[in-house]
Structure 1
Amino acid sequence: MKAIYLNGHGGNEVVQIGARPAPERRPGEVLIRMRASTLNQVDLYMRNSGAGITHALPQTMGIEGFGHVAACDDHAHVQVGDAVVIHPGISCGHCEFCQRGDDVLCTRIALVGEHRDGAWSEYVVVPADNVLPAPSYLTPFEAAALAVTHLTAWRMVVTQGQVKAGQTVLVFGIGGGVSVAALQIAKALGAKVIVTSRHAHKLERAQALGADLGIHTPADDVVKSVMAFTGKRGVDVVIENVGEAVWGDAMKSLVRGGRLVTCGATSGDQPPADLRRIFIRQLQILGSTLGNLQEFKDLLAFCEQHHIRPVIDHIYPMDQVHTALDVMSRAEQFGKLALDLTAEEMNPIIYN
């Protein structure tokens, strides 16, 4: 089958497009004919080094996707031909975290596209529990985006941030997939949302999606802008994945007892702690990554209810994945960069 895979670490020279062995389905698993996926920061990280993530080369890339069921067990909850999305976290089902329903914290979790072969291929096999019906109103590319960026934003905004109607949320770095998803979810919950960006056109796009205030950095002072908007109160929740570069502004923008939720550190992972501010103002600092299976089900239902559509910036064919990776590395997109995974089969799979 045709796939996009890594044969080393470095730049785009290690990202290959060609033949890979087709996966073999076992009982309890679902074989999916892939249609669409989107790019995520972890794809760049796996290409660059993959340091700290146990994996073996060559490895197919891609952490999530949309496709159609090609083969499954007779009594599975899906049927051949169904349109489905993949939850990328494959958990053990037995550790204390799986037992309490928070499988994203599983001690032996294996993520598609990180610890095992990914979804940037014509076919992928995952456990049946990790396959969910795709929302019928979305395009394949929109549906594919839900499993990482929107699920990550859902856990940040809803589970960790506990955002409620009437509260105010500050989202750093609007334009990236998680930040745009956080804006959409927070607005659907009835919150006011402030966004930041270095690019005026991204702020305009965000305000068209419902953002209540756009802060153009570094020309505009984030803290002063937040305090002016909130009447010197501060925001209830900060959503950020930038890390060190924005940490000081994030902390100073919070109301007393406010919550800072972080899922990334693209600008550095060693920010000043500012412990006095944390304990005097009783702030909460919460880490967040992806989301569990129940959260994914809740997200899908929420998107259906509020008709949320992930923002797709551009769609690339498989053979243009290098261009797509370059665009992501320069943070030029607003929303998601998508891959069209349809291709003439190199080695057709014969189903029983």
Structure 2
Amino acid sequence: MPEQMQALVLVKTSGDEWKPGPKTWHPIQVKDVPVPTPKEDQVLVKVLAAAFNHRDVFQRQSLYPGTIFHADSAPSILGADAVGIVVSPGHHLSNKRVLVAPAVNWLKDPSGPDVPGKQFGILGSVKQTDGRGTFAEYVVVGKDDVIECPEHLSVAEAATVPLGGLTSYRATFTKANVKSGDNVLITGIGGGVAILALQFCVAVGANVWVTSSSPAKIKRAQELGAKGGVNYKDADWPKQLQKMLPSSRPFLDAAIDSGGGPLGTQLIRLLRDGAIISCYGQTTMQPLDMPMALVLKNVEIRGSTMGSREEFFSAVKLIGEKKIKPIVDSVLNGLGEAEKGFQLLKEGGQFGKVGLTSLR
């Protein structure tokens, strides 16, 4: 086992003139750091591939809580997604390909994090996980925080599963209670979470419609099983969507949303009594509205973020059982290519996830 490894670390912008926001862009560097030594309740995983999430961009803008910066005595390694090989001996998954649970201190309670005295956190340059991240040759994780990778997934596909799969599974099933025959709207199709939510819904027999500002993304969604889609920049998109719904069930049972803003008002005529809006983000930077008309229809708005280890394992098992193949937009080769991945996410034109292989 080597003593040193390469890792992508987050470095604080020099000076004191920067402030959190989209104009800030903290540097990243490929550094040689010590290979971590697992504790008794941990295993060492050799990373085969990793993947980007929007939180990585937010961290470079100082818009993600708990973010820490690199120091030689305390590395701050980016990345939450990984597929790898357990190299620690004696583990039941030793020498097998595994997916790494992206979070800690949330085991199974559907209500929220459930480890007393310990703070929930995500891998990748945050204090809650001691700066451990997956953009490195090796990562140390809890011995119970790995699950065997479904055989049908390529390395690049597998790497994109953890955080997006966990987030979409919780938003779709734990929160929105999606089941066979339901009519579901997924907003902002194109990102990894929304696409996996679409694939999950289709896999269990739900009917899905999507929104996007891109006709090309709507077409791609239809190829993945969506019944149709509307351009959310059209002022009358709710009316367009209403005409697409089946005459036998001309309403929505659930909406899975990442945008926030006036969605509640826009869906007043479309949501059935008791429908659920499952919101896992607010990219409009505006709170999701709750007009009185939705109150009178007993509509529920449910916030959803990340999820438990049990939900992560359930997501992976569903992907394996239904042979779901996550959509990969781009695959970059080596840590030196990482900046390209950040720029792809900043531009927002991708359909699916951005992966990173050969982590040297």
Do they fold alike, i.e. is TM over 0.5?
A: yes
Aligned to 2:10: 6
Q: Which stretch shows the higher mean deviation, 151-160 or 265-274?
A: 265-274
Q: Does 1:37 align with 2:50?
A: yes
State whether residues 251 and 260 of structure 1, in contact with CA within 8 Å, keep that contact through their aligned partners in structure 2.
no
AA of the residue aligned to 2:161: L
Could you tell me how far 1:252 is from its partner in structure 2? 5.0
* Post-superposition CA distance 1:18-52 (Å, at most 9, x none): 22232111112110111111111111111110443
State whether residues 256 and 281 of structure 1, in contact with CA within 8 Å, keep that contact through their aligned partners in structure 2.
yes
Look up the SS of the partner of 1:255 in the other structure.
Answer: strand
1 CA distance for matches of 2:172 and 2:138? Answer: 33
AA of the residue aligned to 1:18: K
Aligned to 2:121: 110
Q: Which stretch shows the higher mean deviation, 130-139 or 293-302?
A: 293-302
State whether residues 151 and 290 of structure 1, in contact with CA within 8 Å, keep that contact through their aligned partners in structure 2.
yes
Aligned to 2:295: 279
Q: How do 1:85-100 and structure 2 match up within 5 A?
A: 85-91=99-105, 98=107, 100=109
Aligned to 1:335: 352
Pick aligned residue for 2:36 from 4, 10, 23: 23
Pick aligned residue for 1:82 from 81, 96, 100: 96
2 CA distance for matches of 1:54 and 1:328? Answer: 19
AA of the residue aligned to 1:255: R
State whether residues 104 and 292 of structure 1, in contact with CA within 8 Å, keep that contact through their aligned partners in structure 2.
yes
* Post-superposition CA distance 1:73-104 (Å, at most 9, x none): x2x3321x21111101111xxxxx75857664
Q: 1:253 to 1:41 in 2, by over 3 A?
A: farther
* Post-superposition CA distance 1:156-190 (Å, at most 9, x none): 11111111111100000111111100110001110
Aligned to 1:270: 287
Aligned to 2:273: 256
Decide which structure has greater helix share: 1
State whether residues 170 and 306 of structure 2, in contact with CA within 8 Å, keep that contact through their aligned partners in structure 1.
yes
* Post-superposition CA distance 1:96-123 (Å, at most 9, x none): x758576645551232113332110011
Aligned to 2:339: 322
AA of the residue aligned to 1:266: T
- Size of the aligned set, in residue pairs, is 334
What stretches of structure 1 of length at least 5 have no aligned partner?
A: 92-96, 344-352
Pick aligned residue for 1:141 from 124, 140, 156: 156
Q: Does 1:304 align with 2:315?
A: no
Q: Does 1:62 align with 2:66?
A: no
Look up the SS of the partner of 1:166 in the other structure.
Answer: coil
1 CA distance for matches of 2:350 and 2:339? Answer: 15
State whether residues 168 and 237 of structure 1, in contact with CA within 8 Å, keep that contact through their aligned partners in structure 2.
yes
Look up the SS of the partner of 2:179 in the other structure.
Answer: coil
State whether residues 245 and 267 of structure 1, in contact with CA within 8 Å, keep that contact through their aligned partners in structure 2.
no
User: TM (normalized to structure 1)?
Assistant: 0.88
Look up the SS of the partner of 2:205 in the other structure.
Answer: coil
* Post-superposition CA distance 1:243-295 (Å, at most 9, x none): 22645325553222110001111211434332x12320101111111221222
AA of the residue aligned to 1:38: A
2 CA distance for matches of 1:223 and 1:101? Answer: 32
AA of the residue aligned to 1:285: I
Q: 1:224 to 1:333 in 2, by over 3 A?
A: same
1 CA distance for matches of 2:110 and 2:270? Answer: 33
Aligned to 1:293: 309
Aligned to 1:347: none
Look up the SS of the partner of 2:81 in the other structure.
Answer: coil
Q: 1:54 to 1:46 in 2, by over 3 A?
A: closer
State whether residues 195 and 215 of structure 1, in contact with CA within 8 Å, keep that contact through their aligned partners in structure 2.
yes
* Post-superposition CA distance 1:115-151 (Å, at most 9, x none): 3321100110011111111111101121122211122
What stretches of structure 2 of length at least 5 have no aligned partner?
A: 14-22
Q: In percent, how many aligned pairs have the same letter?
A: 27
Aligned to 2:184: 169
State whether residues 166 and 192 of structure 1, in contact with CA within 8 Å, keep that contact through their aligned partners in structure 2.
yes
2 CA distance for matches of 1:88 and 1:159? Answer: 18
Q: 1:221 to 1:17 in 2, by over 3 A?
A: farther
2 CA distance for matches of 1:119 and 1:206? Answer: 29
Q: Which stretch shows the higher mean deviation, 221-230 or 256-265?
A: 221-230
2 CA distance for matches of 1:222 and 1:122? Answer: 46
Could you tell me how far 1:222 is from its partner in structure 2? 2.4
Could you tell me how far 1:220 is from its partner in structure 2? 6.4
Q: How do 1:190-229 and structure 2 match up within 5 A?
A: 190-219=205-234, 221-229=236-244
2 CA distance for matches of 1:121 and 1:267? Answer: 33
